[in-house]
Amino acid sequence: MMHVNRLKLVTFDVTDTLLAFRKAPGQYYADTATKHGIKCNGTELSKNFRIHFKDMAKNHPNYGLTTGLGWEMWWKELITRTFKQCHPTIDIKKLDAISHNLINDYKTFSCWKHCKGALDLLSYLKHKGYTLGIISNFDPRLDATLENAHIRHYFNFIVASYDVGVQKPNPNIFEIAMKFSNIKSLSAEDCLHVGDSYSLDYEGAKNAGWNAALVNANNENGKDYVFVSLFDLHQYIINGSGERLQLETKP
Which residue would you say has higher pLDDT here, 118 or 4? 118
My answer on whether 14 and 128 are in the same domain is yes
My answer on whether 39 and 147 are in the same domain is no
- What range does the domain containing 47 cover? 22-110
pLDDT tens across 60-116, in order? 999 999 999 999 999 999 999 999 998 899 999 999 999 999 999 999 999 999 999
pLDDT tens across 190-208, in order? 999 999 999 999 999 999 9
Region 171-188: what's the mean pLDDT? 98
Distance CA 233, CA 194 (A): 9
My answer on whether 29 and 74 are in the same domain is yes
Q: Which of 148, 136, 125, 145 is nearest to 174 (CA)?
A: 136
In a domain, 11, yes or no: yes
pLDDT tens across 219-228, in order? 555 566 889 9
Model pLDDT, residue 118? 98
**232 and 121 Cβ atoms separated by less than 8 Å:** no
Q: Which CATH number goes with the domain that contains 105?
A: 1.10.150.720
**H and E: helices and strands count for the chain:** 10, 8
Q: In what order do the strands lie in the sheet with 9-12?
A: 157-160, 131-136, 9-12, 191-195, 211-215, 226-227
Distance CA 193, CA 7 (A): 11
In a domain, 246, yes or no: no
Distance CA 229, CA 221 (A): 16
- Is the pLDDT at 180 greater than 80? The verdict is yes
My answer on whether 121 and 212 are in the same domain is yes
In a domain, 230, yes or no: yes
In a domain, 251, yes or no: no
My answer on whether 101 and 183 are in the same domain is no
